[in-house]
Structure 1
Amino acid sequence: MLKLGLIGKGISRSQSARLHVLLGRMCGFDVTYDYLDSEKIADFDLIDQLTACANAGYAGVNVTHPYKTEARKMITPRKRLANALGAVNTVVFRDDGWRGDNTDYVGFMRGYRGKFGDQAPGMVLQMGAGGVGLAAAFGLHGLGADRILIHDKDADRGKTLVATLKDGGANAAFVGEADLSDAIRTADGLVNCTPVGMNQYPGSPFEARLLGGQKWVFDAVYTPVETAFVHSARKAGILVMTGFELFFFQGIEAFEVFSGTQIDGDAARIEYFNAYPEALTG
């Protein structure tokens, strides 16, 4: 039995359970995956909940919004994480202590390499500086991006991410509204880490008329998979990485950390789409 869970707020729509149960079945594990929603737990406290999970025999838990930053402050990170990356989304309970990881970060890089191979990111414009934006931006740095331009409607949040990236050794800058169109046109890659494009937030963060000269795009949104942004990019002849890749590979990375096994990503993808064909379209 491999006991896992997800800690977060308003997580009833998460698809993590079905992915982890499927991965467990592939590896011969009987997996349980519980949703530990702070909205449904009286007097919720993160450290208390983590302690309760450890005491109840959980192998580990995923941590999502809004607790990733808080988790990073109280848990020792694994060595593969950049020191400046101030968020944890995976916690493993071991006899010698708890360890934190950010599988959004490593999952983004794994997804990028799977779609684009050794193609360097080049100069990248990223929209959104929240939790996913933090992981994606550090992933871009890990992939060797020449320059990372950040835009966020909350300028202070965007500038904070830029400062964090610089602390981690990245070549980064904030782009304001006045310079945004030019930055979009001249970028090698475009990244959407905003909610725009989700079923409840329709639209695209990038105007279709500005697309065409870029080499690749990534949209973190995966419900639906084929967002307006993805559709416009494909129409413009640009290589695309959808949000499903991040969801899928961060989940695989987390399961590998929890279980100590290695997952064949291609085989897991076939199994997942056979079990959940609706995931192809979101």
Structure 2
Amino acid sequence: MSWLCGLVGEGIAASRSPAMHEREAKNLGEILVYRVVDTAAWEGTAADLPAIFQWLKRFNYNGVNVTHPYKQAVIPLLDELSDAASAIGAVNTVVFRNGKYIGHNTDWSGYAANFRRTLPDASLERVGQIGAGGAASAVGYALLTLGARELKLFDVDRARATALAERLQKLFPETRVSAVSRVEDAITGASGVVQTSPIGMSTHPGVPFSPDLLSSEQWFSEVIYFPRETELLAQARAKGCPTVSGVGMAVFQAADAFELFTGLRPDRERMLKEFD
């Protein structure tokens, strides 16, 4: 059997997703073709999504991943949502099945799997999260699912942080989720800190906060995987913080999506080892 899958997003020409999916299918003795649908190539927008998905269905795609800036914009086009995608309010994987578009979110499960694998004994008593856009909702959901007792969110857009805090608080009423006005308030006293903002990416160089705010008693988690080691991740490691890079999240969310597309169980450790 063979599969045709892809990635819909903007500015994604350098995505590692095609290599990850096609290589793992080959490792399993199967054929999977994975193509990138980059709206930046023709100055497309969210208004083009209905036409894109109609053509994907006509070309008999089995499913697609969805990335920035369409993880929320795609939802009105879908026939069904998984429980996690509905709770998080974002979709990164769409499976085409029986004429229907079914939305999933594997960002949260990929983050959770990577965190458990890397820091299985980390304290989640109090977590500070920097960023409330993009991947932040999935990461916050993952941390609370893993057992975080308190989550403090900071974003330069206070309204966005407040909205995410309110959403997560409703989903996890027995925990404490709040938006704070200063980055220091999220980090000081936290058991660990997770960085979900785009600052640190190759296209957004720099650090989202001063590494001096971190202490060696705290763990530090990064979601950026390009570059593999951001400046802040390197600084946290140099301070002696136990760290979690963004590479594992990227690989494990892809592995979960691969399983949804094909029904086959990928070798996650092999995918991690072969990631480039």
Q: What is the CA-CA distance between 1:14 and the residue it aligns to?
A: 1.2
Counterpart among 150, 157, 160 of residue 160 in structure 2: 157
The secondary structure found in structure 2 opposite 1:190 is strand
Q: What is the CA-CA distance between 1:40 and the residue it aligns to?
A: 3.1
Output one character per residue of 1:6-54: Cα deviation in whole Å (capped at 9) or x when no partner.
1111211211111111111122221111111223358762122112212
- What corresponds to 1:174 in structure 2? 179
User: Contact 1:84 / 1:167 at 8 angstroms: preserved in 2?
Assistant: no
Structure-2 change in CA distance of 1:175 and 1:53 (3 Å): same
User: Contact 1:190 / 1:214 at 8 angstroms: preserved in 2?
Assistant: no
Which residues of structure 2 form unaligned runs of 5+? Answer: none
Question: Where has structure 1 moved over 6 Å in runs of 4 or more?
Answer: none
- 255-264 or 48-57, which deviates more: 48-57
User: Contact 1:185 / 1:213 at 8 angstroms: preserved in 2?
Assistant: no
- What corresponds to 1:10 in structure 2? 11
- 37-46 or 89-98, which deviates more: 37-46
Q: Partners of 1:39 and 1:238 in 2: how far apart?
A: 38
Structure-2 change in CA distance of 1:82 and 1:214 (3 Å): farther
Matched, 1:207 2:210: yes
Q: Partners of 1:148 and 1:111 in 2: how far apart?
A: 19
Q: Percent identity of the aligned residues?
A: 34
Counterpart among 54, 67, 70 of residue 51 in structure 1: 54
Q: What is the CA-CA distance between 1:245 and the residue it aligns to?
A: 1.1
Per the normalisation by structure 2, the TM-score is: 0.91
What letter corresponds to residue 13 of structure 1 in structure 2?
A
Counterpart among 102, 107, 114 of residue 105 in structure 2: 102
What letter corresponds to residue 268 of structure 2 in structure 1?
G
Q: Partners of 2:73 and 2:181 in 1: how far apart?
A: 29
- 201-210 or 259-268, which deviates more: 201-210
- What corresponds to 1:77 in structure 2? 81
- Superposed, which structure 2 residues align to 1:221-240 within 5 Å? 221-240=224-243
Q: What is the CA-CA distance between 1:183 and the residue it aligns to?
A: 3.4
Q: Partners of 1:206 and 1:39 in 2: how far apart?
A: 30
Per the normalisation by structure 1, the TM-score is: 0.90
Structure-2 change in CA distance of 1:194 and 1:74 (3 Å): same
Output one character per residue of 1:46-72: Cα deviation in whole Å (capped at 9) or x when no partner.
122112212211110001111111222
- What corresponds to 1:21 in structure 2? 22
Matched, 1:89 2:81: no
Q: Partners of 1:38 and 1:266 in 2: how far apart?
A: 32
User: Contact 2:123 / 2:191 at 8 angstroms: preserved in 1?
Assistant: no
What letter corresponds to residue 177 of structure 2 in structure 1?
A
Q: What is the CA-CA distance between 1:201 and the residue it aligns to?
A: 2.4
Q: What is the CA-CA distance between 1:195 and the residue it aligns to?
A: 1.4
Which residues of structure 1 form unaligned runs of 5+? Answer: 274-278
The alignment covers a number of residue pairs equal to 270
CA RMSD, 1 decimal: 1.8
Q: What is the CA-CA distance between 1:121 and the residue it aligns to?
A: 2.2
